[in-house]
Amino acid sequence: MPKVTRNPEETRDALIAAARREFEEAGFEATHSNKIAARAGYAPQTFYRHFADKRAIFLAVYQEWISEEAAVLDSVRGAEDAAAAIIRHHKKSLIFRRALRALSLTDAGMRDARAQSRRAQLASLRMRLPHLARVPEAELAARLLQIERVADACAEGEFADLGLSAREAEAQLARLLSAAFGKPR
């Protein structure tokens, strides 16, 4: 059991870590705040000192996941390495990503948070890759969404369902990344 602390930031971090494990093991619907608090080593009321509800902590976990993915991508070079890193990151969070996709369809707040995150990703891409400044917003968004969907399909084994190898799937994601964000010729 985690060490209980009176430091609000440490408590919040422990709750987020526990929530992430719960969401990854059971999904959103089967998890509740009492399980999250207990897993972090706290009483249920501690949860509510830091988060309004389960949706609020899910959003905090999502923000952490986004930051991790950005850090992962910052540490790699080339489309092949980026594809492999993205797939690994998505595989580690299969159940969480499924819950995220489902909630984005049914929960307006989650849909807004996801849209806000994607807008930030697009802005970051434009800042980091100046050649994308000439790409229309809708086209860049389509590229991002396509890559996100293919990454999830790779992680979920959908290519294998079609008789294709994981290596072929990863190569396709690398090609998409290169075509979408690579430097112009």
Query: Is pTM, for the whole model, over 0.75?
Result: yes
Parse the chain into domains and list their residue ranges.
1-51, 59-181
- Pinpoint the alpha helices (H) of the chain: 8-26, 33-40, 44-50, 54-74, 79-91, 94-106, 108-128, 137-156, 158-161, 166-181
Q: What percent of the chain has pLDDT over 70?
A: 96
Residues 111-131, mean pLDDT to the nearest whole number: 92
pLDDT band at 5 (very low <50, low <70, confident <90, very high): low
- Alpha-carbon gap, residue 176 to 103, rounded angstroms: 26
- The DSSP 8-state label assigned to residue 28 in this structure reads T
Residues 10-25: b if buried by 16+ CB within 10 A, e if exposed: ebbbbbbbbbbbbbbe
Would you say 104 and 118 are in contact if contact means Cβ atoms under 8 Å apart?
Answer: no
**Residue 117 is which amino acid?**
S
Is it the case that residue 184 has pLDDT exceeding 70? Answer: no
Taking CB atoms within 8 Å and a gap of at least 24, the contacts of 175-181 are 175/79, 176/143, 176/146, 176/147, 176/150, 177/79, 177/82, 177/83, 177/86, 177/147, 178/79, 180/143, 180/144, 180/146, 180/147, 181/125, 181/129, 181/132, 181/143
Is it the case that residue 1 has pLDDT exceeding 90? Answer: no
Mean pLDDT of the chain: 93
| Among the four given CATH numbers 1.10.10.60, 2.30.30.700, 1.20.1250.20, 1.10.1740.10, the one describing domain 1-51 | 1.10.10.60
Instruction: Give, in degrees to the nearest 5, the angle at Cα 16 between 13 and 20.
Output: 140
- The DSSP 8-state label assigned to residue 134 in this structure reads G
Phi and psi at residue 76, in whole multiples of 5°?
-115, 160
Residues 76-92, mean pLDDT to the nearest whole number: 94
